[in-house]
Chain A
Amino acid sequence: MPQEKVEFLKGTLDMLILKVVAAGPIHGYAISQRIQQISKDFFQVPQGSLYPALHRLEEQDWLEAQWKDTSTGREAKFYTLTRKGRKQLETEVLNWERLSDAVALILRTAE
Protein backbone atom coordinates (compact mmCIF):
# COMPACT_ATOMS: atom_id res chain seq x y z
CA MET A 1 0.00 0.00 0.00
CA PRO A 2 1.28 3.46 -0.79
CA GLN A 3 2.34 5.69 2.03
CA GLU A 4 0.06 8.50 0.97
CA LYS A 5 -3.32 8.37 -0.56
CA VAL A 6 -3.06 9.56 -4.09
CA GLU A 7 -6.16 11.40 -5.25
CA PHE A 8 -7.20 10.71 -8.77
CA LEU A 9 -7.13 13.67 -11.04
CA LYS A 10 -10.60 14.41 -12.20
CA GLY A 11 -11.46 12.12 -15.07
CA THR A 12 -8.30 10.03 -14.68
CA LEU A 13 -10.12 7.18 -13.00
CA ASP A 14 -12.59 7.01 -15.88
CA MET A 15 -9.71 6.75 -18.34
CA LEU A 16 -7.95 4.04 -16.33
CA ILE A 17 -11.16 2.03 -16.04
CA LEU A 18 -11.77 2.29 -19.77
CA LYS A 19 -8.20 1.18 -20.44
CA VAL A 20 -8.44 -1.82 -18.14
CA VAL A 21 -11.82 -2.82 -19.53
CA ALA A 22 -10.46 -2.49 -23.07
CA ALA A 23 -8.43 -5.64 -22.45
CA GLY A 24 -11.60 -7.76 -22.30
CA PRO A 25 -14.69 -8.45 -20.17
CA ILE A 26 -13.87 -7.91 -16.53
CA HIS A 27 -15.81 -7.42 -13.29
CA GLY A 28 -15.57 -4.54 -10.83
CA TYR A 29 -13.39 -6.23 -8.25
CA ALA A 30 -10.92 -7.36 -10.87
CA ILE A 31 -10.76 -3.83 -12.26
CA SER A 32 -9.75 -2.41 -8.91
CA GLN A 33 -7.22 -5.22 -8.46
CA ARG A 34 -5.76 -4.65 -11.93
CA ILE A 35 -5.32 -0.92 -11.41
CA GLN A 36 -3.67 -1.51 -8.07
CA GLN A 37 -1.47 -4.24 -9.48
CA ILE A 38 -0.31 -2.46 -12.63
CA SER A 39 0.39 0.76 -10.75
CA LYS A 40 2.37 -1.27 -8.26
CA ASP A 41 0.01 -0.32 -5.43
CA PHE A 42 0.38 3.35 -6.25
CA PHE A 43 -3.32 3.68 -7.01
CA GLN A 44 -5.79 2.10 -4.72
CA VAL A 45 -9.24 2.51 -6.12
CA PRO A 46 -11.79 3.11 -3.38
CA GLN A 47 -15.03 1.25 -3.97
CA GLY A 48 -16.87 4.45 -3.33
CA SER A 49 -15.35 5.88 -6.47
CA LEU A 50 -15.18 2.75 -8.56
CA TYR A 51 -18.80 1.67 -8.66
CA PRO A 52 -20.36 5.10 -9.19
CA ALA A 53 -17.80 5.58 -11.97
CA LEU A 54 -18.65 2.22 -13.55
CA HIS A 55 -22.35 3.04 -13.44
CA ARG A 56 -21.75 6.46 -14.85
CA LEU A 57 -19.68 5.08 -17.74
CA GLU A 58 -22.35 2.50 -18.38
CA GLU A 59 -25.01 5.22 -18.39
CA GLN A 60 -22.94 7.13 -20.98
CA ASP A 61 -22.83 4.03 -23.17
CA TRP A 62 -19.06 3.77 -23.00
CA LEU A 63 -19.32 0.47 -21.17
CA GLU A 64 -21.82 -2.30 -21.41
CA ALA A 65 -22.35 -4.97 -18.82
CA GLN A 66 -23.35 -8.60 -18.81
CA TRP A 67 -24.00 -10.97 -15.94
CA LYS A 68 -21.85 -14.07 -16.32
CA ASP A 69 -20.55 -16.83 -14.13
CA THR A 70 -17.04 -16.43 -12.83
CA SER A 71 -14.47 -19.21 -12.59
CA THR A 72 -15.68 -19.87 -9.05
CA GLY A 73 -19.22 -20.34 -10.33
CA ARG A 74 -20.61 -17.16 -8.83
CA GLU A 75 -22.52 -14.73 -11.01
CA ALA A 76 -20.76 -11.39 -11.50
CA LYS A 77 -21.22 -8.27 -13.59
CA PHE A 78 -18.70 -8.16 -16.42
CA TYR A 79 -17.98 -4.92 -18.19
CA THR A 80 -16.90 -4.59 -21.83
CA LEU A 81 -15.99 -1.55 -23.86
CA THR A 82 -18.45 -0.29 -26.48
CA ARG A 83 -17.37 1.31 -29.73
CA LYS A 84 -18.25 4.68 -28.28
CA GLY A 85 -16.17 3.81 -25.23
CA ARG A 86 -13.18 2.89 -27.38
CA LYS A 87 -13.34 6.23 -29.14
CA GLN A 88 -13.64 7.99 -25.80
CA LEU A 89 -10.62 6.11 -24.50
CA GLU A 90 -8.57 7.16 -27.53
CA THR A 91 -9.46 10.81 -27.03
CA GLU A 92 -8.75 10.68 -23.34
CA VAL A 93 -5.41 8.96 -23.80
CA LEU A 94 -4.46 11.52 -26.43
CA ASN A 95 -5.45 14.37 -24.14
CA TRP A 96 -3.57 12.83 -21.26
CA GLU A 97 -0.42 12.43 -23.28
CA ARG A 98 -0.54 16.02 -24.44
CA LEU A 99 -1.16 17.15 -20.90
CA SER A 100 1.65 15.15 -19.37
CA ASP A 101 4.06 16.13 -22.15
CA ALA A 102 3.26 19.74 -21.51
CA VAL A 103 3.66 19.35 -17.76
CA ALA A 104 6.94 17.45 -18.22
CA LEU A 105 8.20 20.13 -20.59
CA ILE A 106 7.51 22.84 -18.04
CA LEU A 107 9.14 20.86 -15.26
CA ARG A 108 12.23 20.27 -17.35
CA THR A 109 12.71 23.71 -18.79
CA ALA A 110 11.48 26.01 -16.09
CA GLU A 111 14.42 25.38 -13.82
Chain B
Amino acid sequence: MQAQMNKIALGLMLPLAFFTAPAWAYTAYVSNEKGNTISVIDTDKLEVVATIKVGRRPRGIELNKEGTELFVCAGDDDAIQVVDTRTRQITGKLPSGPDPELLTLSPNGDIIYVSNENDNLVTLIDVKRKEQIGDIPVGVEPEGMAISPNGKLLVNTSETTNMAHIIDAQTKSILANILVDSRPRFAAFKKDGSELWVSSEVGGTLTVIDPARLEVKTKISFDVPGMSKEAIQPIGISISGDGKKAFVALGPANRVAVINAETKEVEKYLLVGQRVWHLAFTPDEKYLLTANGVSNDVSVIDVAHLKVIKSIPVGAFPWGVVVAPQ
Protein backbone atom coordinates (compact mmCIF):
# COMPACT_ATOMS: atom_id res chain seq x y z
CA MET B 1 0.00 0.00 0.00
CA GLN B 2 2.64 2.42 1.13
CA ALA B 3 4.81 1.59 -1.82
CA GLN B 4 1.89 2.07 -4.15
CA MET B 5 1.06 5.46 -2.72
CA ASN B 6 4.70 6.31 -2.98
CA LYS B 7 4.62 5.46 -6.64
CA ILE B 8 1.56 7.61 -7.24
CA ALA B 9 3.25 10.50 -5.51
CA LEU B 10 6.31 9.94 -7.65
CA GLY B 11 4.22 9.96 -10.77
CA LEU B 12 2.90 13.38 -9.87
CA MET B 13 6.33 14.75 -9.10
CA LEU B 14 8.16 13.32 -12.06
CA PRO B 15 7.29 16.17 -14.49
CA LEU B 16 9.00 18.58 -12.11
CA ALA B 17 12.29 16.89 -12.80
CA PHE B 18 12.26 18.05 -16.40
CA PHE B 19 12.21 21.71 -15.41
CA THR B 20 15.16 21.58 -13.05
CA ALA B 21 18.64 22.27 -14.36
CA PRO B 22 20.43 19.28 -15.86
CA ALA B 23 22.88 17.58 -13.54
CA TRP B 24 26.34 16.44 -14.46
CA ALA B 25 26.33 12.81 -15.35
CA TYR B 26 27.90 10.90 -12.50
CA THR B 27 27.97 7.19 -11.98
CA ALA B 28 26.45 5.59 -8.90
CA TYR B 29 27.23 2.08 -7.72
CA VAL B 30 24.73 0.15 -5.62
CA SER B 31 25.63 -3.14 -3.91
CA ASN B 32 22.83 -5.71 -4.00
CA GLU B 33 23.26 -7.88 -0.90
CA LYS B 34 21.27 -10.87 -2.15
CA GLY B 35 21.65 -10.28 -5.87
CA ASN B 36 25.45 -10.59 -5.63
CA THR B 37 25.71 -7.73 -8.09
CA ILE B 38 26.53 -4.04 -8.33
CA SER B 39 23.95 -1.92 -10.19
CA VAL B 40 25.55 0.93 -12.11
CA ILE B 41 23.35 4.03 -12.33
CA ASP B 42 23.76 7.00 -14.64
CA THR B 43 22.72 9.92 -12.43
CA ASP B 44 21.77 12.05 -15.44
CA LYS B 45 19.36 9.53 -16.90
CA LEU B 46 18.56 8.20 -13.42
CA GLU B 47 18.52 4.64 -14.65
CA VAL B 48 20.56 1.48 -14.39
CA VAL B 49 23.04 1.29 -17.26
CA ALA B 50 24.94 -1.84 -16.28
CA THR B 51 25.06 -4.64 -13.76
CA ILE B 52 28.34 -6.09 -12.49
CA LYS B 53 28.46 -9.61 -11.08
CA VAL B 54 30.51 -9.74 -7.89
CA GLY B 55 31.11 -12.08 -4.94
CA ARG B 56 28.54 -13.24 -2.43
CA ARG B 57 26.73 -10.86 -0.12
CA PRO B 58 28.17 -7.55 -1.26
CA ARG B 59 27.45 -4.80 1.26
CA GLY B 60 29.98 -2.03 2.05
CA ILE B 61 31.36 -0.33 -1.07
CA GLU B 62 33.86 2.49 -1.51
CA LEU B 63 35.64 4.15 -4.41
CA ASN B 64 39.32 4.97 -4.51
CA LYS B 65 40.30 8.63 -4.63
CA GLU B 66 40.39 8.78 -8.42
CA GLY B 67 37.15 6.88 -8.84
CA THR B 68 38.90 4.27 -10.98
CA GLU B 69 38.54 1.39 -8.55
CA LEU B 70 35.56 0.21 -6.56
CA PHE B 71 36.12 -1.81 -3.39
CA VAL B 72 33.33 -4.24 -2.60
CA CYS B 73 32.99 -6.10 0.72
CA ALA B 74 31.86 -9.55 -0.39
CA GLY B 75 31.00 -10.86 3.09
CA ASP B 76 30.30 -14.49 2.25
CA ASP B 77 33.46 -14.71 0.16
CA ASP B 78 35.56 -13.30 3.02
CA ALA B 79 37.21 -10.76 0.75
CA ILE B 80 37.12 -7.21 -0.54
CA GLN B 81 36.90 -7.37 -4.30
CA VAL B 82 38.41 -4.70 -6.50
CA VAL B 83 36.40 -3.65 -9.55
CA ASP B 84 37.87 -1.56 -12.35
CA THR B 85 35.19 1.10 -12.88
CA ARG B 86 36.15 1.60 -16.53
CA THR B 87 36.05 -2.03 -17.68
CA ARG B 88 33.59 -3.03 -14.91
CA GLN B 89 35.61 -6.20 -14.36
CA ILE B 90 36.89 -7.63 -11.09
CA THR B 91 40.64 -7.16 -11.15
CA GLY B 92 41.63 -8.58 -7.79
CA LYS B 93 40.89 -8.85 -4.13
CA LEU B 94 42.16 -7.55 -0.83
CA PRO B 95 42.80 -9.79 2.20
CA SER B 96 40.12 -8.43 4.52
CA GLY B 97 39.73 -11.32 6.93
CA PRO B 98 36.38 -13.09 7.39
CA ASP B 99 33.03 -11.47 6.56
CA PRO B 100 33.94 -7.86 5.79
CA GLU B 101 30.98 -5.51 5.98
CA LEU B 102 32.06 -1.86 6.00
CA LEU B 103 35.29 -0.14 5.08
CA THR B 104 36.77 3.31 4.83
CA LEU B 105 39.76 4.73 2.99
CA SER B 106 42.44 7.01 4.35
CA PRO B 107 42.13 10.48 2.79
CA ASN B 108 45.24 9.91 0.67
CA GLY B 109 43.77 6.62 -0.51
CA ASP B 110 46.67 4.42 0.60
CA ILE B 111 45.07 2.46 3.41
CA ILE B 112 41.74 0.69 3.75
CA TYR B 113 40.36 0.25 7.25
CA VAL B 114 37.89 -2.59 7.56
CA SER B 115 35.99 -3.85 10.58
CA ASN B 116 36.56 -7.52 11.29
CA GLU B 117 33.54 -8.66 13.27
CA ASN B 118 34.67 -12.15 14.18
CA ASP B 119 37.90 -11.12 15.84
CA ASN B 120 36.90 -7.75 17.35
CA LEU B 121 39.57 -6.05 15.27
CA VAL B 122 39.94 -3.22 12.83
CA THR B 123 42.14 -4.51 10.03
CA LEU B 124 44.43 -2.23 8.01
CA ILE B 125 45.12 -3.05 4.37
CA ASP B 126 47.74 -1.45 2.13
CA VAL B 127 45.81 -0.75 -1.08
CA LYS B 128 48.76 -0.88 -3.47
CA ARG B 129 50.48 -3.93 -1.99
CA LYS B 130 47.15 -5.65 -1.31
CA GLU B 131 48.45 -6.77 2.07
CA GLN B 132 47.30 -6.56 5.66
CA ILE B 133 49.57 -4.18 7.52
CA GLY B 134 48.15 -4.36 11.03
CA ASP B 135 45.13 -4.46 13.23
CA ILE B 136 43.64 -2.67 16.20
CA PRO B 137 41.67 -4.48 18.96
CA VAL B 138 38.30 -2.83 19.58
CA GLY B 139 34.94 -3.79 21.15
CA VAL B 140 32.57 -6.65 20.35
CA GLU B 141 31.34 -6.77 16.74
CA PRO B 142 33.09 -3.79 15.18
CA GLU B 143 31.07 -2.30 12.37
CA GLY B 144 30.97 1.38 11.38
CA MET B 145 34.23 2.93 10.12
CA ALA B 146 35.09 6.56 9.48
CA ILE B 147 38.19 8.65 9.20
CA SER B 148 38.45 12.36 9.93
CA PRO B 149 38.98 14.60 6.88
CA ASN B 150 42.53 15.39 8.02
CA GLY B 151 43.24 11.68 8.33
CA LYS B 152 44.21 11.89 11.99
CA LEU B 153 41.29 10.23 13.74
CA LEU B 154 39.97 6.83 12.88
CA VAL B 155 36.58 5.85 14.26
CA ASN B 156 35.12 2.42 14.71
CA THR B 157 31.75 1.58 16.22
CA SER B 158 31.26 -1.74 17.98
CA GLU B 159 27.74 -3.09 17.84
CA THR B 160 27.61 -5.10 21.04
CA THR B 161 29.96 -2.97 23.13
CA ASN B 162 27.94 0.10 22.05
CA MET B 163 30.91 2.41 21.76
CA ALA B 164 32.54 4.68 19.25
CA HIS B 165 36.24 3.93 19.53
CA ILE B 166 38.27 6.98 18.57
CA ILE B 167 41.69 5.90 17.39
CA ASP B 168 44.82 7.88 16.62
CA ALA B 169 45.31 6.83 12.99
CA GLN B 170 49.07 7.24 13.20
CA THR B 171 49.90 5.50 16.46
CA LYS B 172 46.90 3.15 16.21
CA SER B 173 46.18 3.65 19.89
CA ILE B 174 42.71 4.26 21.20
CA LEU B 175 42.20 7.83 22.39
CA ALA B 176 38.69 7.44 23.75
CA ASN B 177 35.82 5.01 23.97
CA ILE B 178 32.58 6.90 23.83
CA LEU B 179 29.38 5.18 24.90
CA VAL B 180 26.50 5.58 22.46
CA ASP B 181 23.10 3.88 22.23
CA SER B 182 22.54 0.25 21.23
CA ARG B 183 24.03 -1.23 18.09
CA PRO B 184 25.99 1.64 16.61
CA ARG B 185 26.30 0.88 12.90
CA PHE B 186 27.61 3.87 11.06
CA ALA B 187 29.84 6.89 11.64
CA ALA B 188 30.40 10.01 9.55
CA PHE B 189 32.44 13.18 9.98
CA LYS B 190 31.39 16.65 8.89
CA LYS B 191 33.63 17.77 6.03
CA ASP B 192 35.37 20.35 8.24
CA GLY B 193 36.02 17.68 10.85
CA SER B 194 34.14 19.61 13.54
CA GLU B 195 31.65 16.88 14.35
CA LEU B 196 31.37 13.12 14.27
CA TRP B 197 27.90 11.61 13.86
CA VAL B 198 27.16 8.04 14.96
CA SER B 199 23.88 6.22 14.30
CA SER B 200 22.54 3.64 16.79
CA GLU B 201 20.28 1.24 14.94
CA VAL B 202 18.60 -0.47 17.86
CA GLY B 203 18.75 2.48 20.25
CA GLY B 204 17.03 4.55 17.57
CA THR B 205 19.19 7.64 18.09
CA LEU B 206 22.04 9.61 16.60
CA THR B 207 24.95 10.76 18.74
CA VAL B 208 26.90 13.85 17.76
CA ILE B 209 30.45 13.77 19.10
CA ASP B 210 32.94 16.61 19.38
CA PRO B 211 36.14 15.03 18.00
CA ALA B 212 38.36 17.71 19.53
CA ARG B 213 37.11 17.25 23.07
CA LEU B 214 36.29 13.57 22.55
CA GLU B 215 32.92 13.85 24.17
CA VAL B 216 29.27 13.67 23.31
CA LYS B 217 27.84 17.00 22.17
CA THR B 218 24.22 16.05 21.76
CA LYS B 219 21.88 13.23 20.94
CA ILE B 220 19.19 13.35 18.26
CA SER B 221 16.07 11.21 18.43
CA PHE B 222 13.29 10.72 15.93
CA ASP B 223 9.54 10.70 16.07
CA VAL B 224 7.56 9.64 13.05
CA PRO B 225 3.82 10.01 13.68
CA GLY B 226 2.00 6.68 13.56
CA MET B 227 5.19 4.67 13.74
CA SER B 228 6.35 2.71 16.77
CA LYS B 229 9.64 3.83 18.34
CA GLU B 230 11.16 0.40 17.76
CA ALA B 231 10.66 0.64 13.98
CA ILE B 232 12.85 3.74 13.76
CA GLN B 233 16.34 2.38 13.19
CA PRO B 234 18.87 4.94 11.98
CA ILE B 235 21.71 3.60 9.82
CA GLY B 236 23.28 5.54 6.91
CA ILE B 237 24.26 9.20 7.37
CA SER B 238 25.12 11.79 4.70
CA ILE B 239 26.07 15.32 5.72
CA SER B 240 26.20 18.09 3.11
CA GLY B 241 29.60 19.60 2.33
CA ASP B 242 28.71 22.94 3.91
CA GLY B 243 27.76 21.10 7.12
CA LYS B 244 24.26 22.54 7.14
CA LYS B 245 22.06 19.57 6.36
CA ALA B 246 22.23 15.93 7.31
CA PHE B 247 20.25 13.04 5.94
CA VAL B 248 19.77 9.89 7.98
CA ALA B 249 18.30 6.61 6.71
CA LEU B 250 15.76 5.21 9.21
CA GLY B 251 15.74 1.56 8.07
CA PRO B 252 12.36 -0.16 8.46
CA ALA B 253 10.66 3.20 9.07
CA ASN B 254 11.07 3.64 5.28
CA ARG B 255 12.07 7.25 5.69
CA VAL B 256 15.05 9.51 5.44
CA ALA B 257 15.20 12.14 8.17
CA VAL B 258 16.33 15.60 7.12
CA ILE B 259 18.20 17.28 9.96
CA ASN B 260 19.36 20.84 10.31
CA ALA B 261 22.98 19.93 11.02
CA GLU B 262 23.58 23.22 12.82
CA THR B 263 20.63 23.29 15.23
CA LYS B 264 20.27 19.45 15.19
CA GLU B 265 16.55 19.73 14.68
CA VAL B 266 14.78 17.15 12.57
CA GLU B 267 13.05 19.19 9.87
CA LYS B 268 11.37 16.62 7.73
CA TYR B 269 10.88 12.93 7.03
CA LEU B 270 11.02 11.87 3.40
CA LEU B 271 9.17 8.70 2.47
CA VAL B 272 11.49 6.46 0.45
CA GLY B 273 11.49 2.74 -0.39
CA GLN B 274 11.35 -0.02 2.19
CA ARG B 275 14.21 -0.79 4.63
CA VAL B 276 16.51 2.06 3.67
CA TRP B 277 20.15 1.28 4.50
CA HIS B 278 22.71 3.69 3.09
CA LEU B 279 22.81 7.01 1.30
CA ALA B 280 25.11 8.90 -1.08
CA PHE B 281 25.15 12.39 -2.56
CA THR B 282 26.06 13.08 -6.15
CA PRO B 283 29.28 15.17 -6.04
CA ASP B 284 27.30 18.36 -6.88
CA GLU B 285 24.87 17.46 -4.02
CA LYS B 286 21.93 17.89 -6.39
CA TYR B 287 20.71 14.38 -5.65
CA LEU B 288 20.86 12.02 -2.72
CA LEU B 289 20.48 8.35 -3.55
CA THR B 290 19.13 5.84 -1.02
CA ALA B 291 19.53 2.04 -1.15
CA ASN B 292 16.23 0.45 -0.10
CA GLY B 293 16.81 -3.15 0.99
CA VAL B 294 13.30 -4.59 0.87
CA SER B 295 11.69 -2.77 -2.06
CA ASN B 296 14.73 -3.46 -4.28
CA ASP B 297 15.06 0.09 -5.49
CA VAL B 298 16.99 3.32 -5.12
CA SER B 299 15.07 6.46 -4.22
CA VAL B 300 16.34 9.70 -5.71
CA ILE B 301 15.99 12.73 -3.45
CA ASP B 302 16.10 16.21 -4.98
CA VAL B 303 18.25 17.85 -2.31
CA ALA B 304 17.32 21.47 -3.04
CA HIS B 305 13.57 20.81 -2.92
CA LEU B 306 13.71 17.96 -0.35
CA LYS B 307 11.49 15.82 -2.53
CA VAL B 308 11.73 12.22 -3.62
CA ILE B 309 11.58 12.46 -7.39
CA LYS B 310 12.14 8.94 -8.62
CA SER B 311 12.67 5.36 -7.65
CA ILE B 312 15.05 3.29 -9.72
CA PRO B 313 14.64 -0.50 -9.66
CA VAL B 314 17.98 -2.23 -8.96
CA GLY B 315 19.01 -5.77 -7.94
CA ALA B 316 17.92 -7.88 -4.96
CA PHE B 317 18.33 -6.26 -1.52
CA PRO B 318 20.29 -3.10 -2.30
CA TRP B 319 22.49 -2.13 0.67
CA GLY B 320 25.38 0.24 -0.06
CA VAL B 321 25.68 3.15 -2.50
CA VAL B 322 28.55 5.36 -3.68
CA VAL B 323 28.77 7.94 -6.46
CA ALA B 324 31.81 8.49 -8.69
CA PRO B 325 32.66 11.77 -10.39
CA GLN B 326 32.50 10.09 -13.79
Genuine A/B complex: no
